[in-house]
Amino acid sequence: MKKMLLLVFVIIFTGCSDKLVRVMPYEKENFAEDKMSYSPLADRSEQEGHVFLIREASAGGESAFQGGCGCR
Partner 1 sequence: MKKIILLITLVLTLSAEVKVGDTVSNFKLPYLYDTSKTVSLKSNAGKVTLVNLWASWCSGCKEEMPLFVDLQKKYKNSDFRIILSSVDKKKKKSIKFLNKVDKNKVLLSVYDKEKTLPKEYKALGMPSSYLLDKNLKIIKIFVGSLDDNAMKELEEQIDKLLGK
Is residue 60 involved in binding partner 1 (CB under 8 A)?
A: no
Query: Which one, 43 or 55, has the nearer CB to partner 1?
Result: 43
d(CA 37, CA 61): 11
Query: Which one, 39 or 55, has the nearer CB to partner 1?
Result: 39
Query: Which one, 55 or 70, has the nearer CB to partner 1?
Result: 70
Binders in 17-46 for partner 1, by CB under 8 A: 17, 24-29, 32-33
